[in-house]
Structure 1
């Protein structure tokens, strides 16, 4: 007679016990908790596809940095290259603007400009305005893409495992005992 196996990964009970988390019976009832969590997150569902039993799950809350990291990794090469290119562009343009002002201001004296000193102020103001507007539009574009991804990506699910569940033989529970665990 063969040993019971997980219906998802088809491995025997090793590092992790096999549990019956739904109303399925026999060998179809046994799963590793980690396998079931991965399967539910892949399917974006909280119920068993065989018996339609709803698994006890909770949503996992992540920090904004972790969510942004997941979005960036899953966004695709085109978005990653666009983000890298935008970062390089704004870094170089920002440095260029600061350095050009720093090195050109001492060379241009107010006496040499005379009545045209306002031209320097207008040039600096225009540069700052264009730079800030381009930066705002770029950040807004990435932010909208990020918000769209969040609305389409469901929350990660974590199973709430009953503390009275028995490893291995948990598929032999009585219906009353199984109902009391949920």
Structure 2
């Protein structure tokens, strides 16, 4: 198990010492939670690679950003707008 941890460790920024290496999966989670692409310590902007689409088995349904009522409302309005515009497009192109 220790070998797996070392293999998945990356050095994504200019930090050195005990904070130099991080698990790639942990960094991805941090991106999702913090909504930033810059190191909080050294201020380096991370260079991200596009690795294409996730496998179908890892797909998830969209969800609101939080349980806050405003995020819930924004999410529901966006879904409604998507359905509405899809229907309009279908009718116009029919």
Give the alignment's TM-score, normalised by structure 1.
0.29
Does residue 71 in structure 1 map to residue 74 in structure 2?
Answer: no
Say if 1:147 and 1:46 are closer, same or farther in 2 by CA, change over 3 A: farther
Cα-to-partner distance string for 1:24-50 (whole Å, 9 max, x where unaligned): 010111101111111111100111110
Alpha-carbon contact 1:71-1:146 (below 8 Å) kept: no
Q: How does 1:159-178 map to 2 (within 5 A)?
A: none
Q: Quick one: distance in 2 between partners of 1:48 and 1:37?
A: 13
Q: Distance in 1 between matches of 2:80 and 2:16?
A: 42
CA gap of 1:34–1:75, structure 2 versus 1, over 3 A, is closer
Residues 135-154 of structure 1 deviation map (CA, whole Å, 9 limit, x = unaligned): xxxxxxx4x24379xxxxxx
Partner of 1:32: 23
Residues 26/70 of structure 1: CA separation in 2 closer, same or farther (3 Å cut): same
Structure 2, gaps ≥5 residues long: 68-75, 82-94
Tell me the TM-score normalised to structure 2 length. 0.51
**1: CA distance between counterparts of 2:37 and 2:31?**
6
Q: SS where residue 51 of structure 1 aligns?
A: coil
1:15 aligns with 2:4: yes
Q: 1:147 to 1:61 in 2, by over 3 A?
A: farther
Bigger RCO (CA 8 Å, 6+ sep): 1
RMSD over aligned Cα, in angstroms? 3.6
Unpaired stretches in structure 1, ≥5 consecutive residues: 1-11, 77-141, 149-182
Distance 1:52 1:147 in 2: 39
